[in-house]
Structure 1
Amino acid sequence: MADPTIELLEQCRRIPVTAPETEAFHLWLLFHLDLIWVIRLFPWLRLVRVNKSMNEFLMFSAPFPDAIFPIPSL
């Protein structure tokens, strides 16, 4: 039996990344999903810096190159 969460995330992956409403959705994903899942589902994300003292990941996405998203410690 397939995991419904994985099925939902796979459907989300098919959303066009150029749609303007997806930026907020991707932000939501980054804050609510495990970092490994985010990287697997959205391979266009690139880790640009890890601040170990603050336990914060900074990432940017190719469709939104000016946006930097803080990721809480996982």
Structure 2
Amino acid sequence: MCRSIKTLREPYTSDVTDDDVRAAALQYVRKISGFRAPSARNAEAFDRAVETIAAATQALLDELHLRPVARDEATP
């Protein structure tokens, strides 16, 4: 659905920042709302949705239990 949202968990990426999480939430809200930038009337709801989704995303990432990634030690 949102091709510009990147995977935010290991092994796909490391050192995920708050900005990464917020950018993914913003892309999601833009996609589902159909607004790149909301009107003044919708800005509060739009911003609240971004913050709510960012918080839920961070909670998910914090709670995921991942298996260790097997790494070939011979590969640089």
Same fold (TM over 0.5): no
Which of these two proteins has the greater Rg computed from alpha carbons? 2
Q: More helix by proportion, 1 or 2?
A: 2
TM-score normalised per structure 2: 0.30
